Chain A
């Protein structure tokens, strides 16, 4: 009985809510208009500290999502974010390359490293792949910070990045153009025959192999495309915070795109974008939660609650992120995106149902 109930529940959960082609088109246009207009009405701080990182992480999370759509969950994507960021800044400083070209050189090198790492990863199963990608990111950060190389990269202390355009609105619109083009390319890849092969490999690698898909080749292609865009996001991220340092390799940046893609909706094109918006909003506005708690219980009320911590903001924020991820994976395995669609359809259909 319980099993039956669970089955029927999960079939409801799996119910696919789709939009027609023209509806989708209008949604995309509407979204583009919103992202183009919104920055004009908010202050400069919000544009450069909240909205621009949102775009950068939308690219980054989409690149992770593309890799995951081929069944490869990387836990070391920060390696490519970091390579993209460092290389794009270093070629601009050391070789005098224009920063915008440096951005693409950084992504190309990131893709080249991704190719090499991908070669070792294509035969691995889910957990092994997760561990190995995590391991590679630790090895790459070690290489970047050994003293002999550090004289050249200055990675440990960091350095300011040469800017392509001014921060604020100009950089926002540049990032917007790059983000739209990148996500469009990833969309086309995922909708193509190649994307279908990725999906087949994700669902059952053995069966995919049996119907004649060269699984190793397609997994490697997914790796290269994904790491190219991760490198691009890295270059843009270094630009957006104007400073690059070895902390860009922190595991936090490896887990971030995973959270964004999973919370938004894994395997969909809009999922990582929605996830990036949600997480970046949490990251930007939840740090002030300690002020909120202060005003609720007062400074004196807060100290006996958590006597060991001086600043409760960051741990509460991360705790919230972790719980959010757990709740989404357990209760809404398809992420938030389908819920939004369902809510929209519910709002649209309920008046009609009342009539009949």
Chain B
């Protein structure tokens, strides 16, 4: 019985790790291209979950189609954020980015409270209650399986976007040397807007998946941001494969730790890990890029 419980924890770790991967990848793309850390990234996840929830309940849309709506809507919010807040402080004191993020956290969380209230909600999925049994006492629900599949599809699409398209090339060039790519005719401002919108869309998708799998309220955004941050530091700043590996490792490690130590330690463990890594390597494990 112990083993089946552990396997359940590991499976759930993979599923929740996939959500962390989406969030961490978005954060990582934004950091890689713009050298900007958006601490309000988890609040975009929360907004994404609420948008998906609203379109499924109000319009009766399928929960999995609502993911696309959430991605689009959060990407638009991202465009607004980049244009009206972060661009204003980009290149000034690094502390200003932290201050802007903090202001945004307050704004998003309280707008969500005003619009949707404090009570926990969950998106109802068409696959609810169905599960695939792998053996006698190990089963995985179809919702969790499809979450893993969706994350894989999104990551493949992202990879193709970065490697095969012109805007992907421009993003990679900007992330290496923004001044040089500007001289080569890349419109940096457009690249920044696109990057931020892309990162926000990934957070929106993560939010919709989160809402399908777990109940959520306006304050769920804060911890995923920090976990995504820890994943980026473990996996390497600006590296997408690193974020994927880091996300899976983190999701599994967190859930095994909860399984053995109990839920009170869940968040403290995340930070202990983060701090140990940073004490050994102050710029992260693959941190040469981080200035």
Residues on the B chain within 8 Å of A120, using CB: 275, 278-279
| Interface secondary structure of B, over-half rule | helix
Residues on the B chain within 8 Å of A127, using CB: 37, 94, 97-98, 229
State how many angstroms separate the Cβ of B260 from the closest Cβ of chain A: 16
Interface residues on B, range: 35 or more
**B100 and A329 within 8 A (CB):** yes
Q: Which residues 159-206 of A have a CB within 8 angstroms of B? A: none
Q: Which residues 207-251 of A have a CB within 8 angstroms of B? A: 251
Q: Is B5 an interface residue (CB 8 A)?
A: no
Q: Which residues 53-106 of B have a CB within 8 angstroms of A? A: 85, 88-89, 92-100, 102-106
**B114 and A308 within 8 A (CB):** yes
**A316 and B114 within 8 A (CB):** yes
Most chain B C-beta atoms within 10 Å of own C-beta, residue among A71, A138, A143: A138
Residues on the A chain within 8 Å of B107, using CB: 319, 322-323, 326
State how many angstroms separate the Cβ of A19 from the closest Cβ of chain B: 25
Closest to B283 in A: A125
Q: Is B184 an interface residue (CB 8 A)?
A: no
Q: Which residues 96-136 of A have a CB within 8 angstroms of B? A: 120, 123-128, 130-132, 134-136
Q: Which residues 222-279 of B have a CB within 8 angstroms of A? A: 222, 226, 229-230, 233, 264-265, 267-268, 270-272, 274-275, 278-279
Closest to A319 in B: B110
**B272 and A326 within 8 A (CB):** no
A312 to B92, CA, bound (A): 36
A59 to B271, CA, bound (A): 28
Q: Using A323-B103, A323-B107 as known contacts, say yes or no to A124 and B282 having CB atoms under 8 A apart.
A: yes
State how many angstroms separate the Cβ of B37 from the closest Cβ of chain A: 5
Q: Is B290 an interface residue (CB 8 A)?
A: yes
Contact with B along A141-167 (1 / 0, CB 8 A): 011011000000000000000000000
Contact of B233 among A128, A262, A308 (CB under 8 A): A128
Residues on the A chain within 8 Å of B222, using CB: 251
Query: Of B115-123, B143-151, B172-180, B207-215, which stretch is located at the interface?
Result: B115-123
State how many angstroms separate the Cβ of A265 from the closest Cβ of chain B: 13
Residues on the A chain within 8 Å of B116, using CB: 308
Task: Provide 28 A-B residue pairs closer than 8 Å at the C-beta atoms, listed in order of the A residue.
Answer: A75-B98, A125-B283, A125-B290, A125-B291, A126-B98, A128-B278, A128-B284, A131-B226, A131-B274, A132-B271, A142-B268, A145-B264, A146-B264, A259-B102, A262-B99, A266-B95, A308-B118, A315-B110, A316-B114, A318-B109, A319-B107, A319-B114, A323-B106, A323-B107, A325-B103, A326-B103, A330-B89, A333-B93
**A→B interface (CB under 8 Å):** 68, 71, 73, 75, 120, 123-128, 130-132, 134-136, 138-139, 142-143, 145-146, 251, 255, 258-259, 262, 266, 306, 308-309, 312, 315-316, 318-319, 321-326, 329-330, 333
